[in-house]
Amino acid sequence: MHKGHIEGLHCAGCVAFATKTAQEIEGVEEVNISLLHKTIEISVAKHEQADTVKSVLHEAGYDVTWDGQPQEELLEDKSILIRMITAIVMAVLLMGIHLMHGFHWHPLPKVVEDIAALLFASVSFAYCALPYHQRALKMLKLKTTNMDTLISLSISVAYFFSIYIILSSHLREEVSHDTMHYFDAVGMIVAFVLVGKRLEERAKQQTTVAYRELMGRVPQQASVKRDGEFVSVPISEVVVGDILRLRQGEYVAVDGVVMEGTATVDESTITGEPIPKLKDAGDALFAATVSTSGLLEYRAEAVGKETLFGKILEAVKRVQGMQAPIQRIADKIASYFVPVILLLALLTFVLWSVSSIPGSVSLGLFFAVSVLAIACPCAMGLATPTAITVAVGRAAKEHLLISNVVALENMSGVTDVVLDKTGTLTLGRPQVVASLWWGEKEAIKRVVIEAERRSTHPLAEAIIERLSVGLTERKEISLVGFEEKIGKGLEFEDVQGIRYKIGSAEYADAPTKNPSEKSVLSGFLLSHPNATFIYLSRNGYLTAVWAIEDCLKSTATSFIQDLKSGNITPHLLSGDREEAVKALALKLGIDKYKGGLTPEDKAEYLRALKGKGKKVAMIGDGVNDSPSMAVADISIAMATGSDIAKEVSDLTVIGTTLTPISTFINLSKRTKRIIYENFAWAFLYNLVAIPMAAGVFYPKLYISPLWSAGAMAMSSIIVVANSLRLRRVKL
């Protein structure tokens, strides 16, 4: 995948044309261009084909720089600003001449007025609007059109027709202050277009505020050990293996490992957990987290884009540049929009010219220019990407990492949510909540601890933690014939020849010695309906039973209630025993549940739901539940710490709380509504404005070229402003 910066994009039509141009090149497999970020990503069969893409796009008027940002960008911005200020001055001077006519005040001879108007309009036409003419000519050579075509043509028609009017009046010696030209329209159209474009760019920049705020959490300088002393160096000069210092209040510069010292670090940026964590030697540190107290030194393990936070930033930026499915419809419409407008403008001129109204040709040109100036495909093109960009940034601030923009568009229509139990509704940290012993002894505990240390079972750590309470130093224990049977348990002998079995009741095969023990065991099992039980037998007799539970997340109950109140049906699927799954489901108010399922069973369950026409989201750990996640319409993974970098789902919740998923559902609904509002405005604007500009309602209601360009600019700004509401809306 080649990534780079692309200049020359000015509207949705530009994006559609540039994308189509690149896709038509042999060997290009995928093209993704972002109007907001001005970035391009392509996938090519051969490395050298990236240069071909760059060359072809350059011929089409788009300058691509791979892996970097053009140095000329700031100079271009300064040039645009100068052109805009000049255009405003020229427009004011031309409007002054126009108002002199309106008030019948003529302090200057008509020829002087006309020369002044021609001079001011020429500056606007030849200098201020020059980039639009250049791009329009490039499009003409490529036998296509875009927004620049409309702007250039409207200005050109008004400019040259005005020259024709004043020349013909002077040549016929019919010079009169009542002779009207359209130089003022030239000045106002150029000024409105340039001012509107700048305001639109400023508004579009606001859509990426959340992304820039995230970037702001990475320090620009770092305290690095050089020749035995700590010195401040730019973050770009830090390399893997460097030793850095972290003081109170400073942000961690790179991912690393604590070498010495102690500090508390707020990792909420990464994990979503608000409580700072104590860090000392051997603990991991993540870039963009902040020290709240203490002093420590750490070794750089990953820098720049390779840090966990760098990967999060890259993911956010990548998704902000993605096209939602609905955007493809808008791009298709935009590709036909300009040719249709050109035909409508021509039709307007012809119909007015052949009419019997006095001055019909002048009116025809007047309204044709208005049509060209007022039509706006930009609003349509911005309807989706601006809303998506703001929403992705808002999601990142809510500890949600979107990997697939389709999830943002489709989550609002989800009818069923399937949840895994362990790590999703529970904390994913099993604990021994109770134990039952027959002859508890320290020696037996030590033997079991040694065996569990050799085990790969996920519950082994919980048993070790429980049995280690109260024990002092570790003692070496010898085991004979140690064997672990995956999915069943452990079997071995101690040095005294006593045979141990640890595992399920069936595997341990340890009957109770008498009815009294059996009664006690039954009561123990019934008192822990949510637990998983691990049995210990010695020489065929039951010695201990541990009840292990994974504690329920504090937000689990409220999350299920949020789903049900939103008419979304929750389903609980787990590989745990049916009784434990049922008890948890009843506790949470989940009516549909199944236990004892394999990953393939879960996937089949989802297929059955989708077969009934349901739109299904799957929430799991992103790894063990990958078969069912692949089947789901939307896959959501719970992740903390370094797990975030491994996610492969459509959406990753950064942290352990479930609340962000409820937030995401609401964000999806709001985003979809904003997109539809933007499209409604874009269509309504063009539906109403173009007939008015064409003079359909003349003389009662019409729009002059003076104000047509202003209306066009405002239509795009309104779309962007509407999208920006997502930054502040309550979710």
Task: Kindly state whether residues 650 and 503 are assigned to the same domain.
Answer: no
- Predicted confidence at residue 62, as pLDDT, reads 84
Residue type, 307: T
Q: What is the pLDDT of residues 456-507, one digit of tens each?
A: 777 888 999 999 888 877 777 899 999 988 768 899 999 999 999 999 888 8
Instruction: Tell me the C-alpha distance between 117 and 370, whole Å.
Output: 20
CATH number for the domain harbouring residue 474: 3.40.1110.10
Q: For 623-629, what is the mean pLDDT? A: 71
The answer, yes or no, to whether residue 209 has pLDDT greater than 70, is no
Q: What is the pLDDT of residues 12-49, one digit of tens each?
A: 667 778 888 888 888 888 888 877 667 888 888 887 78
- Predicted confidence at residue 69, as pLDDT, reads 43
**Whole-number Cα distances in Å, 636 to 404, 617, 643:** 11, 7, 13
- Predicted confidence at residue 320, as pLDDT, reads 63
Range name among 135-149, 267-281, 364-378, 578-592 with the lowest pLDDT average: 267-281
CATH number for the domain harbouring residue 238: 2.70.150.10
Tokens found for residue 557: 């109950």
Task: Kindly state whether residues 475 and 495 are assigned to the same domain.
Answer: yes
Question: Taking every pair of C-alpha atoms in the chain, what is the biggest distance, in angstroms?
Answer: 127
Task: Kindly state whether residues 55 and 148 are assigned to the same domain.
Answer: no
Q: For 707-715, what is the mean pLDDT? A: 81
Residue type, 576: D
Asked whether residue 662 is assigned to any structural domain, the reply reads no
Asked whether residue 674 is assigned to any structural domain, the reply reads no
Environment class of 29 (CB within 10 Å of its CB; exposed 0-12, middle 13-18, buried 19+): exposed
Q: For 55-73, what is the mean pLDDT? A: 71
DSSP character for 439? S
How many percent of the chain have pLDDT more than 70? 89
Collapsed DSSP state (helix, strand, coil) of residue 209: helix
The answer, yes or no, to whether residue 71 has pLDDT greater than 50, is no
- Predicted confidence at residue 377, as pLDDT, reads 73
CATH number for the domain harbouring residue 51: 3.30.70.100
Instruction: Tell me the C-alpha distance between 682 and 715, whole Å.
Output: 7
Contact (CB, 8 A) for 394 and 213: no
Task: Kindly state whether residues 547 and 419 are assigned to the same domain.
Answer: no
The answer, yes or no, to whether residue 641 has pLDDT greater than 70, is no
- Predicted confidence at residue 75, as pLDDT, reads 45
* Residue bearing the bigger pLDDT, 468 or 201: 468
Tokens found for residue 408: 């943002």
The answer, yes or no, to whether residue 73 has pLDDT greater than 50, is no
**Whole-number Cα distances in Å, 32 to 2, 22, 42, 323:** 10, 10, 6, 8
DSSP character for 324? P
- Highest-pLDDT range among 3-7, 155-159, 214-218, 497-501: 497-501
CATH number for the domain harbouring residue 635: 3.40.50.1000
Asked whether residue 46 is assigned to any structural domain, the reply reads yes
Q: What is the pLDDT of residues 528-567, one digit of tens each?
A: 887 889 999 999 889 999 999 888 888 999 999 999 999 9
**Residue 148 catalytic?**
no
Task: Kindly state whether residues 577 and 709 are assigned to the same domain.
Answer: no
- Predicted confidence at residue 204, as pLDDT, reads 64
Q: What is the pLDDT of residues 428-438, one digit of tens each?
A: 778 899 999 98
How many CB atoms within 10 Å of residue 257? 14
Cα 258-259-261 angle, rounded to 5 deg: 80
The answer, yes or no, to whether residue 268 has pLDDT greater than 80, is no
Give the strand pairing for 651-654 and 634-639.
Answer: parallel
Tokens found for residue 147: 């927004």
Task: Kindly state whether residues 118 and 142 are assigned to the same domain.
Answer: yes
How many domains does one find in the chain? 5
Range name among 49-63, 93-107, 255-269, 424-438 with the lowest pLDDT average: 93-107
The answer, yes or no, to whether residue 179 has pLDDT greater than 60, is no
Contact (CB, 8 A) for 270 and 309: yes
Task: Kindly state whether residues 194 and 227 are assigned to the same domain.
Answer: no
Task: Kindly state whether residues 419 and 436 are assigned to the same domain.
Answer: no
Asked whether residue 673 is assigned to any structural domain, the reply reads no
Q: What is the pLDDT of residues 686-700, one digit of tens each?
A: 899 999 999 998 888
Asked whether residue 327 is assigned to any structural domain, the reply reads yes
DSSP character for 645? G
Cα 275-280-282 angle, rounded to 5 deg: 115
Instruction: Tell me the C-alpha distance between 460 and 448, whole Å.
Output: 10
Task: Kindly state whether residues 472 and 530 are assigned to the same domain.
Answer: yes
Task: Kindly state whether residues 206 and 342 are assigned to the same domain.
Answer: yes
Structural domain boundaries enclosing 113: 78-210+323-371+704-713
Instruction: Tell me the C-alpha distance between 89 and 92, whole Å.
Output: 5
Contact (CB, 8 A) for 90 and 156: no
Contacts of 320 (CB under 8 A, 6+ apart): 34, 36, 37, 208, 211, 388, 389, 392, 393
Q: For 79-87, what is the mean pLDDT? A: 88
Instruction: Tell me the C-alpha distance between 699 and 358, whole Å.
Output: 13
Instruction: Tell me the C-alpha distance between 141 and 60, whole Å.
Output: 9
- Cross-strand partners of 39: 5, 34
Contact (CB, 8 A) for 477 and 447: yes
Element (H, E) at 296: strand 290-302
The answer, yes or no, to whether residue 679 has pLDDT greater than 60, is yes
Instruction: Tell me the C-alpha distance between 288 and 250, whole Å.
Output: 9
Task: Kindly state whether residues 284 and 338 are assigned to the same domain.
Answer: no
Cα 154-160-165 angle, rounded to 5 deg: 120
The pLDDT mean for the chain works out to 84
- Predicted confidence at residue 67, as pLDDT, reads 66
Domain boundary among 508, 535, 551: 551
Asked whether residue 386 is assigned to any structural domain, the reply reads no
Its pTM surpasses 0.75: no
Environment class of 126 (CB within 10 Å of its CB; exposed 0-12, middle 13-18, buried 19+): exposed
Q: What is the pLDDT of residues 318-337, one digit of tens each?
A: 776 666 666 667 667 767 88
Tokens found for residue 47: 């490395």
Element (H, E) at 7: strand 2-7
The answer, yes or no, to whether residue 74 has pLDDT greater than 50, is no
DSSP labels, 489-541: EEEEE-TT--EEEEESHHHHT---SSHHHHHHHHHHHHT-TT-EEEEEEETTE
Range name among 372-386, 390-404, 569-583 with the lowest pLDDT average: 372-386
Cα 730-418-570 angle, rounded to 5 deg: 65
Collapsed DSSP state (helix, strand, coil) of residue 575: coil
Catalytic residue (one of 266, 420, 562, 643)? 420
Asked whether residue 376 is assigned to any structural domain, the reply reads no
- The whole-angstrom distance between residue 297's C-alpha and the CA centroid of its chain comes to 34
The answer, yes or no, to whether residue 97 has pLDDT greater than 50, is yes
Give the strand pairing for 431-437 and 243-246.
Answer: unpaired
Task: Kindly state whether residues 52 and 88 are assigned to the same domain.
Answer: no
Q: What is the pLDDT of residues 290-308, one digit of tens each?
A: 999 999 999 999 998 888 8
The answer, yes or no, to whether residue 401 has pLDDT greater than 90, is no
Asked whether residue 412 is assigned to any structural domain, the reply reads yes
Tokens found for residue 386: 């601006």
